Amino acid sequence: MNHTCFLSWFQTQPLANIPAQSLIVLDNAPYHSKISNKAPVSSSKKAEIVSWLTKHNITHDPSFTKCELLDVVKEHKYLQEYETDKIARDAGHKVLRLPPHYCEFNPIELIWAQIKNEVKKCSSNENQTLTNVEHLTKRATDRVTAEDWRSCMCHTREVEDIYRSDIARDHLPEKLIINITSDSGESESGD
């Protein structure tokens, strides 16, 4: 898979077939993540850095050194935009990107694991031709059921709930003291 193939598929398949205002969840595969307005980097020429800053209406002093200009760029790197996100937004959808290295939030990763395990079980060193592996992969993919998807979605939601409760627990104070007497200086009648 590459970015060009992915974009072609993305525009003709999901975008053409999903309900309006859908939320599209993407992982961080390189072909999902091509940046359309990439920020300059240390190997960029000073003129390219100034041009990027000017194009994005970012206040800067052109007399700054290249290093100083790159510091300004770093402060505004959030202006970078993924091509896929722009295409989705232009079609009326939003993209949610999974955090890097958290494949457990993506049910398709569980489905891929199921497919790979089935191919591995049916494959041996003697029959590992490209044609045979392709056949085994197609057969394993065809065997994925709606119940498999439901199970993977349920598992992913459980993982999300665990992370949510862990995050909430991490942000709770050690002691919570609530004073039930009024110290606000207001009388109970509201005077």
pLDDT category at 136 given cuts 50, 70, 90 is: very high
Residues 6+ positions from 39 with CB-CB distance below 8 Å: 52, 73, 76, 77, 79, 80
| Mean per-residue pLDDT, 87-109 | 88
Average the pLDDT over each of 48-52, 90-94, 103-107 and give the range with the smallest value: 103-107
CB-count exposure of residue 20 (10 Å: 0-12, 13-18, 19+): exposed
Q: Is the pLDDT of residue 124 over 90?
A: no
Q: Is the pLDDT of residue 167 over 80?
A: no
Percent of the chain residues topping a pLDDT of 90: 53
What number of other Cβ atoms are within 10 A of residue 50's Cβ? 19
Q: CA-to-CA distance for 1 and 95, rounded, in angstroms?
A: 20
Q: Is the pLDDT of residue 165 over 50?
A: yes
| Mean per-residue pLDDT, 170-188 | 58
| Mean per-residue pLDDT, 150-172 | 82
Alpha helices in the chain (DSSP H): 3-12, 14-17, 46-55, 66-75, 83-90, 107-122, 130-142, 146-170
Q: CA-to-CA distance for 134 and 116, rounded, in angstroms?
A: 11
pLDDT at 160: 86
pLDDT at 174: 64
pLDDT category at 91 given cuts 50, 70, 90 is: very high
Q: Is the pLDDT of residue 15 over 90?
A: yes
Helix/strand/coil for 56: coil
pLDDT at 187: 47
How open is the CA angle 37-40-42, to the nearest 5 degrees? 160
- Evaluated on CA atoms 58, 61, 64, 68, the torsion sign reads negative
| Mean per-residue pLDDT, 55-59 | 91
Highest mean pLDDT among 108-112, 162-166, 185-189: 108-112
pLDDT at 179: 63
Q: What predicted TM-score, i.e. pTM, was given to this entire model?
A: 0.58
